[in-house]
Amino acid sequence: MDEQTRMLAGLTPLGALPQADVGESDPVRKQQQQQQQQPLGQPQQDIGDILQQIMAITDESLDEAQARCWPAEAPMRWAAPDDPALGGGAGGGTAGAALPLDFQHRKHALNCHRMKPALFSVLCEIKEKTVLSIRGVQEEDPPDPQIMRLDNMLLAEGVSGPEKGGGSAAAAAAAAAAGGSPNDGSIEHSDYRAKLAQIRQIYHSELEKYEQACSEFTNHVMNLLREQSRTRPISPKEIERMVAIIHRKFSSIQMQLKQSTCEAVMILRSRFLDARWAYLCVRLCARVHVLACIQLLTLPSVHRLRRKRRNFNKQATEVLNEYFYSHLSNPYPSEEAKEELAKKCGITVSQVSNWFGNKRIRYKKNIGKFQEEANLYAVKTAVDAANVSAQASQANSPATPNSGGYPAPCYTPDGRL
DNA sequence: TGGTATGATTGCGC
DNA sequence: GCGCAATCATACCA
């Protein structure tokens, strides 16, 4: 009601109009009405009439309307859903399907009022100028790059778009790369194609369901809004915005489906490409769409695939061991130290973390076994420290105490090193 | 070819 | 988010 009052107050020609009589129970309004009472011209009288009708409808709660329109003892008369004169039928939407005749008559009278289009237009305009109709709505945003990448990927794999042998080109390349000659890979090839066809079928079936649900829901909401636009200012533009919001929501659901499908294809591909799957994926994708695959390779779920293990090179292991044994009392490198070690070793920070995690636990489990290794690095570090010390003495600077020795491992009460 | 070493992953607790 | 502990998977070697 506050919004209505605000909107009406903003209407210059309507500003002088009496407030609609919404009932004797509201003394404040009644007083205002009495204060503002003045002779009305015909147009103002018309607007006053229609406002009264609108407010009488919109002010009533559902219970009040029900109590007034179909009291318990009165026999109920229902409008035929297809009675266009009473707001039923196709144009009436779901809300007009089965309402009491009294209510339908009032709605019909309101809809047929000659001033209704003009007032509707003015109210829509006011609403448009306020934030009421654009709450939570963002204007046309550009196509989501993530969806574009997924679409490109699915298209390249032959999952979406016209069927062209179920990604036979990719399958042939995969089989050839994994097994050598195309003949060698023929069984895997057909198997790959069959499984890809399954994925394709599931994808299209799910996509169809989403599209159908989206269409049904959109129609439902549009019908509701059209029906409501008979009694409150809802412009076609606002309905369009609502439809856009619905499509955006469904689009995000669709993206999840596409992501899952891409993951399924990648997992299938990984089985056929075996050891070289990641490398070949990138190579294959370079031909079709680099970005799509790079994006997919970074998807968390794809990461869950166990990566091919490669031992670190000797130099990297030495660097890591040196750090570990020279910080044996506290072998927990900081984030900066990890980054530095990763750079030195040519590995990632998470690999450094893994390495230290493994090293700590394995050292703790079998200190005796690692003692020899610890001694080895102790000597190496001691030599290095001596060299540094000698250089420092030459430069007449005080030698800095070095932690290079290998203190006995120190464990915290909770078992940490 | 089997045993061992080792990098990666997972589940849990903090 | 980090670390621990257990486990997995695979590289490496005798």
**How many Å does it take to go from CA A357 to C1' B6?**
12
The more confident residue out of A50 and A13 is A50
Q: What is the mean pLDDT of residues A10-38?
A: 45
Report the alpha-carbon distance of residue A225 to residue A104 in Å, rounded. 17
Average pLDDT, chain A: 63
pLDDT confidence of residue A131: 54
Mean pLDDT is lowest, of A40-54, A87-101, A385-399, for A87-101
Please check whether strand B approaches the CB of A365 to within 7 Å: no
Q: What is the mean pLDDT of residues A149-161?
A: 73
Please check whether strand B approaches the CB of A315 to within 7 Å: no
**How many Å does it take to go from CA A202 to C1' B10?**
30
% of chain A with per-residue pLDDT over 70:
41
Per-residue pLDDT tens over the stretch A95-112: 444 455 565 666 677 667
For the cut 90, the answer to whether the pLDDT of residue A53 exceeds it is no
pLDDT confidence of residue A307: 58
Q: What is the mean pLDDT of residues A224-247?
A: 78
**A99-108, A304-313, A407-416: which is most confident:** A304-313
**A4-18, A43-57, A347-361: which is most confident:** A347-361
The more confident residue out of A304 and A229 is A229
User: Binning pLDDT at 50, 70 and 90, where does residue A249 land?
Assistant: confident
pLDDT confidence of residue A299: 40
For the cut 50, the answer to whether the pLDDT of residue A278 exceeds it is no
Single-letter amino acid code for the residue at A89: G
Q: What is the pTM assigned to this prediction?
A: 0.38
The more confident residue out of A33 and A44 is A44
**How many Å does it take to go from CA A345 to C1' C9?**
23
- Closest nucleotide (C1' vs CA) to A335 is C2
Please check whether strand C approaches the CB of A399 to within 7 Å: no
pLDDT confidence of residue A405: 40
User: Binning pLDDT at 50, 70 and 90, where does residue A34 land?
Assistant: low
pLDDT confidence of residue A353: 93
Mean pLDDT is lowest, of A20-24, A234-238, A321-325, for A20-24
CA atoms within 13 A on the CB side of A46: 11
User: Binning pLDDT at 50, 70 and 90, where does residue A47 land?
Assistant: low
The more confident residue out of A305 and A304 is A305
Mean pLDDT is lowest, of A145-149, A220-224, A352-356, for A145-149
**How many Å does it take to go from CA A305 to C1' B9?**
9
pLDDT confidence of residue A333: 94
- Assign 3-class secondary structure to chain A: CHHHHHHHHCCHHHHCCCCCCCCCCCHHHHHHHHHHCCCCCHHHHHHHHHHHHHHHHHHCCHHHHHHHHCCCCCCCCECCCCCHHHCCHHHHCHHHCCCEHHHHHHHHHHHCCCCHHHHHHHHHHHHHHCCHHHCCCCCCCCCCHHHHHHHHHHHHCCCCCCCCCCCHHHHHHHHHHHHCCCCCCHHHHHHHHHHHHHHHHHHHHHHHHHHHHHHHHHHHHHHHHHHHCCCCCCCHHHHHHHHHHHHHHHHHHHHHHHHHHHHHHHHHHHHHHHHHHHHHHHHHHHHHCHHHHHHHHCCHHHHCCCCCCCCCCHHHHHHHHHHHHHCCCCCCCCHHHHHHHHHHHCCCHHHHHHHHHHHHHHHHHCHHHHHHHHHHHHHHHHHHHHHHHHHHHHCCCCCCCCCCCCCCCCCCCCCCC
**How many Å does it take to go from CA A36 to C1' B7?**
85
**A24-33, A214-223, A306-315: which is most confident:** A214-223
Please check whether strand B approaches the CB of A363 to within 7 Å: no
Please check whether strand B approaches the CB of A301 to within 7 Å: no
Please check whether strand C approaches the CB of A310 to within 7 Å: yes
Q: What is the mean pLDDT of residues A251-255?
A: 73
